[in-house]
Amino acid sequence: MNAIAPQEYKSDLKPIWCPGCGDYSVLTALAKALAELGRPREEIALVSGIGCSSRLPAYTSVYGFHGVHGRALALATGLKIARPDLTVLAAGGDGDGLSIGGNHFLHACRRNVDMTYLLMDNQVYGMTKGQASPTTAPDWCESKLTPLGPGVSPVMPLHLALASGVNFFARGFSGNPNELARLILEGIRHPGFSVIHVLSPCVTFRPEQRAWKQAVHAETVPPETEPAAALARFAADDGFATGVLFAGTRKAFMPERATRREWRDYEARFAA
């Protein structure tokens, strides 16, 4: 194990990201986590949607699927259920995962398939040049589509995930890639569906997010394990505590499949 250098999990493509984008560090943390995990590249698959963040797979050297906007979790679910032997990850932005993809997020939390989701949150639609996302504050007025601010209360990924039955939730910050790598690895190792909520600043459309460096703080209390207790404890969460916040004990979803019959047995029944 761990004979592989993190660099081996990166590809040679130059990211299209803006200089300074938080996503570079997410890539670094992911490569580090995969190197720690030590599985060969071909046994890992990374699925994404559409957005700056969703470009991630092309910059890794594992199997990847860059799908359509909002459906990364559905595609990853199918892949993992069809191929339980693979380590499956999904990644994407706050728009991809919580706006157009909100339903799949909700149902992935409930379904609890053993895979890990990197929710790369910059509180904005980066790729389409700066509109409000579901995690954007109601009074953010920089988008031409919502010049008076979106005026809608933001989604709290932690609350939404807990209410939907998530089995593992950690929060990381791209500015702290070592901690993030550790969280990703823990998420991969935890059975069932794990969400790694990554605060990953968009320096182009949300330059003020450079201040996140000051806002984040490590959670010191150990992770909650009971959903009800977690809902109660994190009800007033500020959104900047990093670390593993919840680690549940639900059994991962994986339908049994037997091979006791040939399909011809089923054919034969029609002749009865």
State the residues that interact with Mg ion by CB under 5 A. Answer: 93-95, 122
Give Cβ neighbours of residue 205 (< 8 Å, ≥ 6 apart): 122, 124, 126, 129, 130, 142
Q: Site residues for another protein, window 202-231 (CB under 8 A)?
A: 204
User: Rule CB under 6 A: which residues touch ligand SF4?
Assistant: 17-18, 21, 23, 52, 122, 126, 202-205
- Closest approach, Cβ 173 to ligand SF4, in A, equals 15
| Coil, strand or helix at 48 | strand
CA 55 – CA 201 distance, rounded (Å): 15
1 binds, among ligand SF4, another protein, a second copy, none (CB under 5 to 8 A by kind): none
CB nearer to ligand TPP: pick between 86 and 128: 128
Indicate if the alpha-carbon torsion angle 218, 222, 225, 227 is positive or negative: negative
- Binding of a second copy at residue 149 (CB under 8 A)? no
Q: Site residues for ligand TPP, window 29-58 (CB under 6 A)?
A: 50-53
| Coil, strand or helix at 131 | strand
In this structure, what token pair is assigned to residue 265?
A: 């047995």
Q: Site residues for another protein, window 56-95 (CB under 8 A)?
A: 57-58, 61-71, 74-83, 85-86
Give Cβ neighbours of residue 10 (< 8 Å, ≥ 6 apart): 27, 31, 59, 60, 61
CA 10 – CA 61 distance, rounded (Å): 5
CB nearer to ligand TPP: pick between 140 and 244: 140
Cα 85 from chain centre = 20
- Closest approach, Cβ 39 to another protein, in A, equals 11
Nearest Cα to Cα of residue 90 among 100, 186, 104: 104
- Binding of a second copy at residue 154 (CB under 8 A)? yes
23 binds, among Mg ion, another protein, ligand SF4, none (CB under 5 to 8 A by kind): ligand SF4
Task: Write out the residues near ligand TPP by the rule CB under 6 A.
Answer: 50-53, 69, 92-96, 120, 122, 124-128, 133
